[in-house]
Homo-oligomer: A and B are copies of this chain.
Amino acid sequence: MSQFSSELQTGLLDLMRWRRDVRRFRSDPVDEAVLQACLDSFLSAPSVGLSEPWRVLRLEGDAARASALENFTSANANALAGYAGEKAALYSQLKLTGMQEAPVQLAVFCDEETEKGAGLGAGSMPETRRYSVVAAITQFWLVARAHGLGVGWVSILDPDKLGRDLDVSPDWRLVAYLCIGWPEADSDTPELERAGWEDRRGHLPVITR
């Protein structure tokens, strides 16, 4: 099927509006079949030169999860130290991770040295390999939301330390740490907006040349 209905167009917009960065999860587990259906979205993700450079690691053990949470705690303390006054007070009250609760946690890496794709398209912009991983994650996020799951992207981490702690190849660069589970509540408004940290723009300016 290569023609898409107006229902699909509208549903897609709804999905994007209700796809949020989720940091508050219920404790009930995620069915493996549902998770697998979401992970299958990686198979249709775009990648530069068909390099498919995504590498997915699932954190199940206590040691792996503890090292990741400690990594966040340390990076978050550093981040807080960079704010002052009201902004610092507000920052300290924000819930910025669901790592304590989320039943499924994935670290998604980019294999910077993959030979797949033979480097096509990545000569002058090698960062497009990492961008391919981001595109795959974005697809995963939308599919997860379509199944009712929430996804939270944690970036307040020392990426090199996380890679070392999880004993992955030094050629792998952390792109995202994802918390996945059933959200406590649904919202079409970002939590940072509700907390008064920042607003979204209501329009997209386009410059012409």
Residues of A within 8 A of B (CB): 1-5, 7-9, 11-19, 21, 37, 39-46, 48-52, 54-61, 63-64, 75, 78-79, 82-83, 87, 91, 94, 96, 106, 116-125, 127-128, 130-131, 134-135, 137-139, 141-143, 145-148, 153, 155-159, 166-168, 174-176, 186, 188, 190, 192-193, 197-209
Contacts and interface: CB of A to CB of B under 8 A. Distances in A.
A57 B123 CA distance: 23
- Copies of this chain, tallied across the complex: 2
Contact of A207 (B14, B56, B79, B146): B56
A82 B124 contact: no
A33 B60 CA distance: 47
Tell me the interface secondary structure of chain A in the complex.
mixed
Nearest to A55: B207
A122 B40 contact: no
